[in-house]
Amino acid sequence: MKRLFLLAATLLTAFAAQAQQAIFEKHDTRSPQFNDDGTVTLRVKAPEAKKVTVIGDCIKGGHQEMTNQDGIWSYTTAVLPPELYSYRFYVDGAEVQDAGNIERSRDVRSFMSTFIVSKEEGDCGYLYQNHNVEHGDVAHVWYDSPQLGMKRRMSIYTPPGYDKGKAYPVLYLLHGAGGDEEAWLTLGRTAQIMDNLIALGKAKPMIVVMPNGNASEAAAKTLSISLPLREGRGGSYEESFSDIMNYMKSHYKIKKGADNTALCGLSMGGYHTFRISMLNAGTFGYMGLFSAAVRLERTEKSLEQQLAEHPEAAAQLKALFAAKPHLYWIAIGKDDFLFQQNVALRQYLDKMQYPYEYFENEGGHIWRNWRIYLSMFAQRLF
C-alpha cells in the first residue's frame, strides 16, 4: 500500500483559505508550498522590509537571503528527503514565524515553524505524522515525589486498547537539559512514532512515560508560571526516580519485571539513563543512551579513571550487567559534541566485556537523530 505522501492533506486542510485568497492576489502567498519536484517554497509577506532571511535545518549554510517580489519574500529549498524540518524567518533582523503555517514547535525557549516531508509509508516522515490508524491516548498527570518534596507533572502515552484492562510493558523516556515533560511529545513526536510503529506491527504496544528531568522544576516553564521553583528538598532526580515508578505501579496497569521495563533518554536524559540504570541493577531489561552525557562528575578524566575513583559506581555497573539485560544500546551522531564521552564509555564496556550494541550515524546533537533513535530503540523492546 505504498503511496506518495506529498502532504496533500496539509495543503487541502491548512491552506485552503490561503489558496483561495492567492487566486485573487498577484503572487502566491502559500507557505510552506510542497512542489512536485520535491523542493519546498517558504514565503513571508513583509512589504516594508529591507532584508529578509530564513534559517533552519531544511536550508543549507545558515541565514539565506529571500527573494522579494512586491513584498512577498520567498525561498525554495533543495529537494528534501523525508524528515521533520524546522525553520524561521528574520525580517530586518527580527525573529518571525511563518504566519501561513499552523505547525510550530518549541525547543527550550526557541520557537520554529515546522513541516514534515514523507515519500512513502514507513519512512521517517511517515512515522512522525498522524495517520488514520488506531491512536494511543496522552495524559499529563501530576505525581507525588516524596523524595523531591513536591508534586510534579509528567506525560504518559498509553497504547491503543489500553483501556481494555490488559497490562502493558513500560518505556521511561527522558529528555535533555532545557527540555521538559512536553519535549518528547512535540519535537520528539513520540505519540505519532508509537501509534505508527504499533500500527505497522513494528513495535509492541507499550506505555511510554515522559517525566520532567529537571529536579528543581515542578512542571514545564510554560505551565509553571507562579509555581515556586526549588520548593522541594533539592534531592537528586536519579534517586527520586523510584517515585515515578511507584506512581506507575499504583496508577497504571503495567507488566512488572525487567523483561517489561525499559529506560532511555537523550543527552542529559542519556546521563540519567546511565545513572538510574546503575542505581537500579536488574530493574530495566532494556536501556538506550541517545547522544548521552556519560560521566560521573565534571572532569576531563577518562570514564575508566572516574570509575576507578568511584568503586561503588563501578560495582553498580557490574551489577547492572550481571543481571543480564536484554539490550544496552548506545547511539550517537558523528558530529555530536558528546562523541568522545561515548567512545570512552564503549572502551570501558569493551574492556569489562559488558555486552552492548552501538549505532552511529551522521549529524550532531539534534532532534532529527533522537527521533530516529527512538524509532529504532522502540522496535527492539519487549
- Give the chain's radius of gyration (CA, Å): 22
List residues near a second copy by CB under 8 A. Answer: 5, 7, 9-10, 12-14, 44-52, 71, 89, 91-97, 99, 102-104, 106, 109, 111, 116, 118, 129-132, 134-142, 151, 153, 160, 163, 218-219, 221-229, 231, 251
Q: Which is closer to a second copy, CB of 133 or CB of 308? A: 133
Q: Which is closer to a second copy, CB of 60 or CB of 164? A: 164
Q: How far is the CB of 366 from a second copy (least distance, A)?
A: 21
Q: How far is the CB of 138 from a second copy (least distance, A)?
A: 5
Q: Which is closer to a second copy, CB of 29 or CB of 277? A: 29
Query: Where do the H-state alpha helices sit in 323-357?
Result: 339-352
Q: How far is the CB of 133 from a second copy (least distance, A)?
A: 9
Q: How far is the CB of 46 from a second copy (least distance, A)?
A: 4
Q: How far is the CB of 12 from a second copy (least distance, A)?
A: 7
Q: Which is closer to a second copy, CB of 89 or CB of 377? A: 89
Q: Do residues 145 and 234 make contact, with C-beta atoms less than 8 angstroms apart?
A: no
Q: Do residues 281 and 323 make contact, with C-beta atoms less than 8 angstroms apart?
A: yes
CA-based nearest residue to 290, from 369, 189, 378, 380: 369
3-class DSSP assignment, residue 307: helix
C-beta atoms surrounding 2 within 10 Å:
8
Q: Which is closer to a second copy, CB of 71 or CB of 364? A: 71
C-beta atoms surrounding 106 within 10 Å:
17
Q: Which is closer to a second copy, CB of 195 or CB of 336? A: 195
Q: Do residues 178 and 214 make contact, with C-beta atoms less than 8 angstroms apart?
A: no
Distance CA 238, CA 228 (A): 21
Q: How far is the CB of 380 from a second copy (least distance, A)?
A: 26
Buried b (16+ CB within 10 A) or exposed e, 13-49: ebbeebeeeeeeeeebbbbbbbeeeeebebbbbbeeb
